């Protein structure tokens, strides 16, 4: 019977206050009458709420706007530097950190290669140091930093932010959030990287209405997240979105998750690189060998894509097979989830538009006729820092929904 | 910016009224003070609402309950025969019709073989006749019948209830809801059959909390539906849940949907029957031949299951392969959706518990380690009329959410 919602005056007041903040975040500068119209609230209600927000220095007046007849209205805006969020994208190849201000603008960023993530304790010390480094760049008091969101590939325990299992990192049951919280003077929240990315991509769609967005991260690994409206779908235990570990080819190669023939084992950046290396090692002349100067260690997914564009047949076979399997996986998502946005992100999508076309062609073959009629397929807009910026959004959303903004 | 929710007093009053009705539906007989406690409402508010409901004959007093100290309280209950819902399950093999009363109890049912569903116009006339037949059994005025829910396999257009595409019936763009509405003196609502089934199975779980239920219909075809909390997930265009048409085997047989290697083409009741027929036609002595008395027309999925239980090797291969593929499909659902309930329904599940065990074993092999940790896998509880009763729930939910109950 969890569905009973009793609404009382206090809840209504809080919903109204957060709606005013949301309106200010999206439409600043804006005057009180416009807020009242936008939200269907009375002018006195809006005046009471904006007074509170002005007193806590959350918003400020920027003077008079243009009059539409009477007295020119006072224009209000969120104080951008009132507080900040930090976001980290802990990828298997690169670690990226970002800081965004109260109006979601990125104000600092840094990146460094991930290198060896073992032993875990030492690696987590490094992550803590990166958080403090980006925080230092803000030159602000710690209490203006509302927290750090950490985007981590793998299965994250919902309640604790522990990493249950990360095939990319070979981690099992690492209490990442707990370890970081002990080292950092502001809140830390660990979430799955694909979810952070999806949240940011949906944020960047602002203005476009979206019913359901399925965002897929095609990089070193393959993962996804579902956003319904503006809310993350997390699943019952917090592990949803693992499209990289659906069985794409029952007789396929063993995946680093332990199962056989996962999508990630046949179509991820790691799988493409491994297949490229094996071509170099087992065959004679090829563009792959040429571009890698004969050294298998130089073969990564991007190199296989370049060899494909230069007309290498083996590279083309690898890329085409990957696109075919990715298309099968995404057709599954279209048939089962019927999203209206399918956003393809991650390193694999930065190898030129032909890969997107190949994937779309595979989807055309494998999706059910008439299923997912509303779906628009596109590449992500957020660039290399999309996941890190999304980690900031994970944190700000959590504060938002738990009504814990300092207002 | 569809997320702004302005709450006004009228909305609050309506939420409270519907919460009181819901409380009465689930916990009748119940007294006013208990309702107030359950919902956190004031006694005067509950008194005002119950007065309205008594006046419209929606609820009634059944006398005094047991006192907990003071005056014995007046006990209230929903009037069961105040109104009814009709539900139809239009399956490829059987059509089942049901009527439930205001407290969701089945009060009438009937079934007949589907036979040839062509031409569509004539078939729809037959469906209309079945609706009127079951309505007639209620011996009540038409205005007490709030409507008929129609559960139909295939892709249904959300806004119009038209059947966009039904591979089972070979239908394309049949305006089923429009045609039926013209023939029936109460509202008609067409929804996908797997959704109706899922709603009923979630209803039958009452008392158990469920975050996300993924209900799969393994019958003549294969379909599924996702229920989040108690609400159907429909997808952006209304076509979600088509797990039967994910690509299970890229080189597999052509499916009646037109694609190749769909789960439905390798593991549905129709696929199992087709494989059984082909064994009978191409091989010598077998339990399949024996049970079918040599006639391929007698081979259906149930017969193949019986042959399997009698030790027939070819039948076992067919059943094992189906279970293996179904397990791959359901592992996908676990990895991507992370449900806490996976409910397996439909005719294939009525062939003995060994099939469930085989499916579970395949899931054990193919699901990602640690993904979907909360999932409980079980068979459906609703029996053969689960989809038809679910069709009633589709209708009652629609009236509920649109606040169109006659109160």
Task: For B329-378, give the DSSP string.
Answer: HHHHHHHHH--SEEEEESGGGGS-HHHHHHHHHHHHHHSPTTTTTT-EEE
Distances in Å between the Cα of A313 and the Cα atoms of A201, A279, A285, B318 are: 34, 11, 11, 39
Tokens 């579970």 map to which residue?
B360
Superfamily of domain A82-197+386-401: ATPase, nucleotide binding domain (3.30.420.40)
Chain A contact for B22 (CB, 8 A cutoff) = yes
A1 — pLDDT class (breaks 50, 70, 90): very low
- Per the listing, tokens 């590279």 go with A315
Assigned CATH topology for domain B206-380: Nucleotidyltransferase; domain 5 (3.30.420)
Q: Over 70: is that where the pLDDT of A397 sits?
A: yes
Give the pLDDT of residue A3.
42
Closest of B208, B194, B268, B212 to residue A234, by C-alpha: B212
**Does any CB of chain A come closer than 8 Å to the CB of residue B36?**
no
Query: Which whole number is the average pLDDT over A77-82?
Result: 94
Q: How does pLDDT run across A286-331, given as a tens digit for each residue?
A: 899 999 999 999 999 999 999 999 999 999 999 999 999 999 999 9
pLDDT digits (tens, 9 = 90+) for A206-263: 777 788 999 999 999 999 999 998 889 989 998 999 999 999 998 899 999 999 999 9
What topology is assigned to B83-200 in CATH? Nucleotidyltransferase; domain 5 (3.30.420)
Task: For Cα atoms A131, A134, A139, give the angle at the middle one, nearest 5 degrees.
Answer: 125
A9-78 and A82-197+386-401, same CATH topology: no
Interface of A with B in 208-237 (CB under 8 A): 209, 211-212, 224, 228-230, 233-237
**If 0-12 CB within 10 Å is exposed, 13-18 middle and 19+ buried, where does residue A212 land?**
buried
Let me know how many helices (H) and strands (E) chain B has, helices first.
Answer: 13, 16
Helix (H) or strand (E) holding A166: strand A163-166
From the list A3, A6, A237, which residue is nearest B372 (CB)? A237
Would the CB atoms of B211 and A235 count as touching at under 8 Å? yes
CB count in 10 Å sphere of residue B403: 12
Which DSSP helix (H) or strand (E) runs through B98?
Answer: strand B94-101
Note whether B89 and B346 are within 8 A (CB). Answer: no
Question: What is the rounded average pLDDT of the residues A379-405?
Answer: 92
In which residue ranges of chain B is pLDDT below 70? 1-8
> Is residue A307 within 8 Å of A299, Cβ to Cβ?
no
pLDDT grade for A6, boundaries at 50, 70 and 90: low
Q: Is residue B375 less than 8 Å (CB to CB) from chain A?
A: yes
A340 neighbourhood in chain B, CB within 8 Å: 236-237
Alpha-helix residue ranges (DSSP H) falling in A81-157? 120-137
Question: How far does A132 lie from chain B, in Å, by closest CA?
Answer: 32
Cβ distance A223 to A194 under 8 Å?
yes
DSSP-derived letter for residue B216 is E
Distance from CA of A206 to the nearest CA of B (A): 8
Please give the pLDDT value at position B3: 42
Contact B320, B358 (CB under 8 A): yes
pLDDT at residue A4, rounded to an integer: 47
What's the confidence (pLDDT) of residue B4?
47
Which pLDDT value is given to residue B8?
67
CB B391 within 8 A of CB A256: no
Quote the CA–CA distance of B296 and B281 in Å, as a whole number: 7
Structure tokens at A275: 């297949």
Distance CA A316, CA A309 (A): 8
**Given CB atoms, is A28 within the 8 Å cutoff of chain B?**
no
Describe the crossing of helices B43-55 and B9-27 by its angle, rounded to 10 degrees. 70
CA distances from B388 to A158, A167, A230, B89, B342 (A): 37, 44, 34, 5, 20
Q: Chain A, 313-332: which have a CB under 8 Å from a chain B CB?
A: 324, 328, 331-332
> Tell me, what's the pLDDT at A2?
33
Give dist(CA B400, CA A27) in Å, integer: 35
Residues 6+ apart with CB under 8 A from A75: A29, A30, A31, A61, A62, A63, A64, A65
- Give the largest CA-CA distance in chain A: 81
The rounded distance, in Å, linking the Cα atoms of A98 and A95 is 10
Closest CA to A247 of A238, A237, A255: A255
Q: Is B145 on the interface with A (CB under 8 A)?
A: no
Contact A345, A265 (CB under 8 A): no
Pair of tokens at residue B50: 């119950």
Whether residue B9 lies within 8 A of chain A, CB to CB, comes out as no
pLDDT at B5: 52
8 Å CB contact of A245 and B12: no
Closest CA to A220 of A172, A267, A276: A267
Full 3-state SS string of A352-366:
CHHHHHHHHHHHHHH
Q: How many CB pairs under 8 A join A and B?
A: 196
Q: Are strands B376-379 and B341-345 parallel, antiparallel or unpaired?
A: parallel
Residue B296 vs residues B93, B113, B338: alpha-carbon distances, Å: 17, 20, 41
Distance CA A107, CA B19 (A): 47
Nearest to B229 among A3, A228, A250 (CB): A3
Q: What is the mean pLDDT of chain A?
A: 92
Q: What is the pLDDT of residue A209?
A: 74
Q: Which residues contact B344 (CB under 8 A, 6 or more apart)?
A: B216, B218, B330, B356, B359, B377, B378, B379, B380
* A12, B13 Cβ separation under 8 angstroms: no
| Interchain CB contact of B14 with A (< 8 Å) | no
Partner residues linked to B320 by β-bridges? none
Q: Which long-range contacts (CB under 8 A, 24 or more apart) does A139-142 make?
A: A140/A81, A140/A84, A142/A185, A142/A186
Which secondary structure element, helix H or strand E, spans residue A188, and what is its range?
strand A188-192
**B335 close contact with A: CB closer than 8 A:** yes
Please report which helix (H) or strand (E) contains residue A400, including its range.
helix A386-401
Looking at residue B2, what is its pLDDT? 33
Please tell me the distance from the alpha carbon of residue B127 to that of residue B135, in angstroms, as a whole number: 12
Interface check B204 vs A, CB under 8 A: no
Is B299:B326 a contact under the CB 8 Å cutoff?
A: no
Confidence of residue A69 (pLDDT cuts 50, 70, 90): confident
Instruction: Inform me whether the C-beta atom of residue A339 falls under 8 Å from chain B C-beta atoms.
Output: yes
Where do the structural domains in chain A lie, given as residue ranges?
9-78, 82-197+386-401, 206-380
Rounded Cα distance, A383 and A349, in Å: 10
From the candidate CATH numbers 3.90.1560.10, 1.10.10.10, 3.40.50.360, 1.25.40.10, the one assigned to the domain spanning A9-78:
1.10.10.10
Q: Give the C-alpha distances (Å, rounded to integers) separating A146 from A82, A87, A101, A189, A398.
A: 10, 11, 10, 11, 11
A388 CA: distance to closest CA in chain B (Å): 22
The alpha carbon dihedral of B99, B105, B107, B111 has a sign of positive
d(CA B193, CA A96): 47
Task: Indicate the pTM of the whole model.
Answer: 0.89
pLDDT of residue A8: 67
A72-131 residues touching B, CB cutoff 8 A: none
- Predicted confidence (pLDDT) at residue A344 exceeds the cutoff of 80: yes
């Amino acid at each position: 019977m969890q569905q009973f919602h009793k609404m009382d005056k206090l809840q209504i007041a809080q919903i109204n206050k957060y709606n005013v903040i949301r309106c200010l975040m999206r439409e600043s500068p804006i005057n009180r009458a416009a807020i009242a119209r936008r939200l269907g609230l009375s002018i006195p209600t809006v005046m009471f709420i904006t007074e509170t927000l002005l007193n806590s220095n959350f918003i400020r007046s920027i003077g008079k706007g243009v009059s539409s007849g009477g007295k020119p209205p006072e224009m209000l805006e969120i104080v951008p530097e009132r507080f900040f969020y930090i976001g980290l994208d802990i990828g298997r190849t690169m670690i990226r950190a970002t800081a965004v201000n109260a109006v979601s603008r990125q104000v600092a960023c840094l990146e460094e290669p991930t290198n060896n993530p073992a032993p875990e304790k030492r690696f987590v010390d490094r992550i803590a140091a990166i958080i403090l480094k980006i925080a230092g760049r803000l030159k602000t008091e710690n209490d203006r930093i509302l927290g750090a969101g950490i985007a981590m590939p793998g299965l994250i325990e919902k309640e604790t932010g522990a990493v249950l299992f990360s095939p990319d990192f070979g981690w099992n049951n690492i209490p990442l959030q707990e370890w970081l919280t002990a080292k950092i003077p502001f809140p830390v929240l660990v979430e799955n990287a694909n979810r952070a990315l999806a949240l940011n991509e949906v944020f960047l769609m602002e203005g476009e209405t979206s019913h359901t967005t399925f965002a897929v991260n095609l990089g070193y690994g393959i993962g996804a997240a579902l956003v319904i409206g503006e809310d993350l779908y997390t699943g019952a235990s917090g592990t949803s979105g693992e499209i990289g570990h659906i069985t794409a080819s029952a007789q396929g190669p063993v995946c680093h998750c332990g199962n056989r023939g996962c999508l990630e084992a046949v179509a991820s950046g790691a799988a493409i690189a491994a297949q490229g290396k094996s071509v170099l090692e087992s065959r004679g002349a090829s563009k792959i060998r040429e571009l890698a100067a004969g050294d298998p260690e130089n073969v990564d997914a991007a190199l296989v894509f370049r060899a494909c564009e230069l007309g290498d047949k083996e590279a083309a076979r690898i890329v085409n097979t990957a696109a075919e399997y990715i298309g099968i996986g995404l057709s599954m998502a279209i048939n089962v989830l019927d999203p209206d946005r399918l956003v393809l992100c991650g390193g694999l999508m930065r190898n030129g538009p032909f890969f997107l076309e190949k994937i779309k062609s595979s989807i055309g073959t494998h999706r059910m006729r008439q299923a997912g009629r509303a779906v628009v397929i596109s590449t992500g807009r957020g660039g290399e820092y999309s996941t890190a910026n999304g980690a900031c959004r994970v944190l700000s959303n959590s504060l938002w929904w738990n009504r814990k903004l300092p207002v």
